[in-house]
A = this chain, B = another copy of it.
Amino acid sequence: MRTIAMRLAYDGTDFVGSQWQNTGRSVQGELEGAWFQFTQEQRRFVFAGRTDAGVHAQGQMAHVQTETHHDLATIQRGCNAWLPGDVAVRNVWEVAPNFHARHSAIRREYRYLIADTPVLLPLLRHYVLHVEQPLDDRAIQTALTFLHGRHDFAAFTSQSTSQGSTIRHCYEARCLRVEVLGQTLLAIDVAANAFLQHMVRTIVGTVVLVGRGRLKPERMERVLQERDRRQAGPTAAAHGLSLMTVVYPPHVLPLGAS
């Protein structure tokens, strides 16, 4: 038995989410279907992070156990040949049997894109949140800086606190201006060891209020301390969010990939 790890990109627009649901298309469902077409194996894929309906990925990670003898390049080509256009396998690795896409990961990086201009380019409408007023990116950066470090993020999740610890370690939270197709966007990058349900989207919903001047940046610190979801902003729309990268310790994920 071999263990295969994959880096995936997908357009989340037409998915109910990364994981199987009772109804609708999931990324996992499409991947397991393509794997069956390619290998005739019925296999379960494990994903590093659960993404909601409408959330995209440029670097989701998944693993599967297999008896296939194909080389890595053939596995990548075979999966891509059977996958629909909104999912792609970007890289394939052979990893040790104890590799686990979720448990072995030590860091996840998300990016949220916002156009704070009167007009959003139509080509970007499924990938970028549109707010018509310009946002104060310095105030947003000040607010984000309060998130750095180890905190209880209970105020920034929709999940009930009975579902385990809400403590996470935030390695990075910053905003920067990026240009996509000639349009200047605001990118909010958040990296942590792991994320709670809706955590990035609630952080973004809160800092957008800061960027509009409706909340002071220092409010972020109090929201963290009070651990009360009602003190944070709304959950920002899913379609602005992408899972960019999942990081593993270097000995876990070998460099030689297809």
Q: Is the CB of A125 within 8 A of B86?
A: yes
User: With a CB–CB cut-off of 8 A, which chain B residues contact A88?
Assistant: 119-122
In angstroms, Cα B121 to Cα A11, docked, is: 8
B58 with A11: CB separation less than 8 A:
no
Q: Which of B118, B119, B122, B127 meets A123, CB within 8 Å?
A: B127
Copies of this chain present in the complex amount to: 2
A142 within 8 A of B: no
Interface SS, A side: mixed
- Does A108 lie at the interface of the complex (its beta carbon under 8 Å from any beta carbon of B)? no
Chain B residues with CB below 8 A from A86, complex form = 122, 125
Interface string of A55-93 (1 = CB under 8 A from B): 010100000000000000000110010000111111000
A180 interface residue per 8 A CB criterion: yes
Q: Complex formed: what's the CA distance from A15 to B121 in Å?
A: 16
Residue A10 CB within 8 A of the other chain: yes
A10-B122 CB under 8 A given contacts A180-B180, A181-B58: yes
In the complex the two chains form, is A122's CB within 8 Å of B85's CB?
A: yes
Q: Is A182 an interface residue (CB 8 A)?
A: yes
Q: Return 25 A-B CB contacts under 8 Å, by A number.
A: A9-B121, A9-B122, A10-B122, A11-B123, A11-B125, A56-B123, A58-B121, A58-B123, A58-B181, A58-B182, A76-B118, A76-B119, A77-B118, A85-B122, A85-B125, A87-B122, A88-B119, A88-B120, A88-B121, A88-B122, A89-B119, A90-B119, A123-B127, A180-B180, A180-B181
Can you list, as one digit per residue, whether each of A228-253 has a CB less than 8 Å from chain B (1) or not (0)? 00000000000000000000000000
